[in-house]
Structure 1
Amino acid sequence: MKKFLISLLLMLPLAFSAQAQQKIGVVNTAAIMEELPDVKAATTKIQDLAKQYDAEIKRMQDEMKTKLEAYQKEEASMTDVIKKRRQQELQEMEARTQNSYQMMQEEIQKEQEKLMAPIRTKVTTAINKVCEAQGCAYVFESGVMLAMGSTALDLTQAVKDVLGIRPAAAPARTSGAKK
Structure 2
Amino acid sequence: MKSQFALKLSSIQSSIARGNRALVLAAAVGAMSVVAAPAVQAQATKIGFVSTERILRDSKPAKAAQSKIEGEFKRRDDELQSLANTLRNQAQKFDKDAPVLSESERVKRQRQLADLDSDLQRKRREFQEDFNRRRNEEFSSIVEKADAAIKKIAEQQGYDLIIQDAVTVSPKVDITDQVMKALGG
Same fold (TM over 0.5): yes
Corresponding residue for 2:161?
Answer: 138
Q: Structure 1 residue 82: deviation in Å? A: 3.2
Corresponding residue for 1:114?
Answer: 137
- Listed one character per residue, the Cα deviations across residues 74-96 of structure 1 (whole Å, up to 9, x for unaligned) are 65675433332222112111121
Flag structure 1 segments of 5+ consecutive residues without an equivalent: 166-179
Q: Structure 1 residue 19: deviation in Å? A: 3.1
C-alpha spacing 1:77/1:141, structure 2 compared with 1 (3 Å)? closer
Q: Structure 1 residue 97: deviation in Å? A: 1.1
Structure with more strand by fraction: 1
2:175 counterpart of 1:155:
yes
Bigger CA drift: 49-58 or 153-162? 153-162
% same residue: 21
Amino acid at match of 2:138: L
Amino acid at match of 2:180: K
Instruction: For 2:42 and 2:93, locate their aligned partners in 1 and report how far apart those are by CA, in whole Å.
Output: 78
Q: Is the 8 A contact 1:49 1:108 kept in 2?
A: no
Correspondence for 2:148 among 125, 144, 159? 125
State the secondary structure of the residue aligned to 2:69. helix
State the secondary structure of the residue aligned to 1:136. coil
Q: Structure 1 residue 50: deviation in Å? A: 4.3
State the secondary structure of the residue aligned to 2:168. coil
Aligned-pair Cα RMSD in Å: 3.2
Structure number, greater radius of gyration: 2
Bigger CA drift: 130-139 or 58-67? 58-67
Correspondence for 2:124 among 61, 84, 101? 101
Matches within 5 A, 1:1-179: 2=24, 5-12=27-34, 13-65=36-88, 67-68=90-91, 78-141=101-164, 144-148=166-170, 152-165=172-185
Q: Is the 8 A contact 1:32 1:160 kept in 2?
A: yes
Bigger CA drift: 131-140 or 92-101? 131-140
Q: Structure 1 residue 48: deviation in Å? A: 2.1
Instruction: For 1:145 and 1:64, locate their aligned partners in 2 and report how far apart those are by CA, in whole Å.
Output: 45
- Listed one character per residue, the Cα deviations across residues 137-179 of structure 1 (whole Å, up to 9, x for unaligned) are 222348x443528xx54423432343343xxxxxxxxxxxxxx
Flag structure 2 segments of 5+ consecutive residues without an equivalent: 1-22
Structure-2-length-normalised TM-score = 0.68
Q: Structure 1 residue 56: deviation in Å? A: 0.8
- Listed one character per residue, the Cα deviations across residues 22-61 of structure 1 (whole Å, up to 9, x for unaligned) are 1111234455445533212211122224432321112223
Q: Is the 8 A contact 1:24 1:153 kept in 2?
A: yes
Structure with more helix by fraction: 2
C-alpha spacing 1:92/1:24, structure 2 compared with 1 (3 Å)? same
Structure-1-length-normalised TM-score = 0.69
